[in-house]
């Protein structure tokens, strides 16, 4: 769900598996945010009467994103071979094409499918979609620090509150332990799907 914080002229759009639930709940609890649009909708899918000045999303290193996403999907699958999450194929959901074409009961099989079906990088393309219309990006790997810097940027009085909140919606260890890859396949994935040259508008402290 996207979050608008009217008092701070801020819009947050939620990329799946990047720590977005942590951000959502903080904005709702601390900045008086309100939910708008569909789940994980990018800026182009939102219809807002007034566009906030600050528009932010979160990115994660692609290989770590795939690990988290596969672990999440396997943890909710109803059988060993199941890959039914958003089987309605809602076009506004950013993982629809991935879910339709790359499901596998092993992480190696999943990444093999990803490399075959998305030779230009699925995660990279997804970030480009979220970057369209955004003014700032946060990083999962340093989410608390980046989010605190964002709160300071929009004038929130106590940005340090970010560091007092517990983690949210972490990937199940049972499944993350199974996200190893043969070295050649991992190198191929990193070669195809990376953040090089994207010029992401990272927030700075």
Structural domain contains residue 203:
no
- What pLDDT is stored for residue 94 in this prediction? 85
Structural domain contains residue 136:
yes
- What pLDDT is stored for residue 161 in this prediction? 95
Structural domain contains residue 137:
yes
Structural domain contains residue 51:
yes
Residue-number span of the structural domain to which 103 is assigned: 2-192
**CA separation for the pair 162, 96 (Å, rounded):** 31
Structural domain contains residue 167:
yes
- What pLDDT is stored for residue 86 in this prediction? 42
Q: Could you give the number of structural domains in the chain?
A: 1
Highest mean pLDDT among 10-24, 76-90, 96-110: 10-24
Tens-digit pLDDT profile for residues 169-204: 778 889 999 999 999 999 999 999 999 999 999 998
Q: Is 50 exposed, middle or buried (0-12, 13-18, 19+ CB in 10 A)?
A: exposed
Tens-digit pLDDT profile for residues 68-88: 999 988 887 655 444 555 444
Tens-digit pLDDT profile for residues 113-155: 999 999 999 999 999 999 999 999 999 999 999 999 999 999 9
**CA separation for the pair 54, 136 (Å, rounded):** 7
- The long-range contacts involving 102-105, CB below 8 angstroms and separated by at least 24 positions, are 103/73, 105/74, 105/77, 105/80, 105/81
Structural domain contains residue 14:
yes
pTM recorded for the entire structure: 0.91
Q: What percentage of residues in the chain have a pLDDT greater than 90?
A: 70
**CA separation for the pair 109, 37 (Å, rounded):** 33
The H or E element containing residue 74 is: helix 62-76
Q: What are 15's two structure tokens?
A: 């990329």
**CA separation for the pair 147, 159 (Å, rounded):** 8
Structural domain contains residue 202:
no
Structural domain contains residue 204:
no
């Amino acid at each position: 769900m996207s979050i608008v914080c009217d008092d701070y002229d801020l819009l947050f759009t939620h990329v799946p598996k990047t720590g977005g639930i942590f951000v959502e709940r903080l904005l709702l609890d601390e900045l008086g945010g309100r939910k708008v649009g569909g789940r994980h909708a990018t800026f182009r899918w939102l219809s807002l009467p007034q566009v906030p000045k600050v528009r932010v999303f979160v990115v994660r290193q692609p290989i770590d994103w795939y690990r988290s996403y596969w672990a999440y999907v396997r943890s909710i699958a109803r059988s060993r071979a199941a890959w039914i999450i958003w089987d309605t194929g809602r076009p506004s959901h950013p993982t629809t094409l991935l879910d339709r074409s790359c499901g596998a009961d092993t992480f190696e099989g999943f990444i093999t499918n990803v490399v075959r079906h998305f030779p230009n990088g699925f995660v990279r393309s997804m970030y480009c979609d979220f970057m369209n219309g955004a003014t700032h990006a946060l990083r999962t790997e340093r989410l608390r620090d980046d989010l605190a810097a964002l709160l300071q940027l929009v004038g929130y009085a106590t940005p340090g509150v970010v560091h007092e909140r517990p983690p949210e919606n972490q990937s199940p260890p049972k499944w993350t332990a199974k996200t190893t890859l043969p070295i050649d396949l991992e190198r191929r994935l990193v070669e195809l799907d990376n953040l090089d040259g994207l010029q992401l508008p990272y927030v700075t402290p």
